[in-house]
Amino acid sequence: MPRALPYLLLLPASLFLLVFFFYPFGLVVVESLTRGGEWTTENFTRMTAHWKFSQAFWNTVWLAAIVVPVQLIMALTMASVVQKLKTGRSGLLYIFAIPLGISDLAAGLIWLAIFEQSGFLNSILHGLGVIDRPQLFLGYQSLWVIFLAVCLAEIWRATAIMMVIIVAGMGLIPKEYNEAAEVFGASRWQRFTKVTLPLLRPSLQTALILRILMAFEVFAVVVALGGTTLPVLMGETFQWQFQLQDRGIAAAYAMVILGLSVAFSLVVLRLLHVPKGARI
């Protein structure tokens, strides 16, 4: 009986996941591959044929490609600094973690309040005499500004989650490795690249996968800052599901996001693989 007990205790949660996650997930898969009750790939061909698809696809990929590495570098830098602190460490962690408590839509709205025509940025520039009338920063003529604003909002919002994971990971590395590297001639940078980073691989895996998944699901921030001017995959899924009422194509979009997430997660797992016996 004691041997079965842990499984019994996990049973409700497992059932819950099976019923409310995998079942709807299965439905979406079926939805994406059927049309009018027939098995078909038509949803996918119609999705890719639409002029917005490749824009949405590449916007999403580019956002992830820019935001995630920038966040990784920032999170590593911040974590290294936090790691060195003797006092006030937890206080700083709390401050850094504040954006984590804000929903992505709220984050988008905060940055909208900065960039919009009557926003803070316009007020400041006007106050400084740089401009004589409010500028339209987030218009469809200047897509790159919207793109940049989304990048900023995403970096502001979600760097902390990576940092928290990395700080925890750095805390697990015994100090002696760094000291040994120091005694055996490694400079500060070499200690970081040759000791800290390799030993941090498990944490980097977690942080990167979590962050990449979030990046492919970017939605509310984009909607708040650009409406549908800057199409992204998740936005298109929403559009097809609710505006255009085509659940088949919406399901196909969802499958594309899933495919990207799985593919990149596998790449991260592969690149940051730690051989057996090489763990701390």
Residues that bind another protein in the complex, under the rule CB under 8 A = 174, 176-177, 179-187, 190, 195, 198-199, 201, 274-280
The helix (run of H) or strand (run of E) holding residue 38 is strand 38-39
Nearest distance from C-beta of residue 100 to another protein, angstroms: 30
199 or 234, CB closer to another protein? Answer: 199
Nearest distance from C-beta of residue 202 to another protein, angstroms: 11
Nearest distance from C-beta of residue 208 to another protein, angstroms: 18
Nearest distance from C-beta of residue 272 to another protein, angstroms: 11
- Closest to 161 (Cα-Cα) out of 195, 127, 226, 208: 208
- Which residues, 6+ apart, have CB-to-CB distance to 122 below 8 Å? 116, 131, 134, 135, 137
| CA-to-CA dists, residue 40 to 164, 248, 251, 255, 260, angstroms | 45, 10, 13, 14, 21
HEC-encoded secondary structure of 84-130: HCCCCHHHHHHHHHHHHHCCHHHHHHHHHHHHCCCCHHHHHHHHCCC
17 or 269, CB closer to another protein? Answer: 269
- Closest to 221 (Cα-Cα) out of 210, 230, 209: 230
3 or 279, CB closer to another protein? Answer: 279
136 or 179, CB closer to another protein? Answer: 179
144 or 189, CB closer to another protein? Answer: 189
Nearest distance from C-beta of residue 206 to another protein, angstroms: 17
Nearest distance from C-beta of residue 116 to another protein, angstroms: 49
Nearest distance from C-beta of residue 43 to another protein, angstroms: 46
85 or 95, CB closer to another protein? Answer: 85
The span from the CA of 231 to the CA of 56, in Å, is: 5
The span from the CA of 94 to the CA of 99, in Å, is: 10
Nearest-Å Rg of the Cα atoms of the chain is 23
54 or 187, CB closer to another protein? Answer: 187
The amino acid at 55? Q
Q: Which residue has the tokens 């007020």?
A: 123
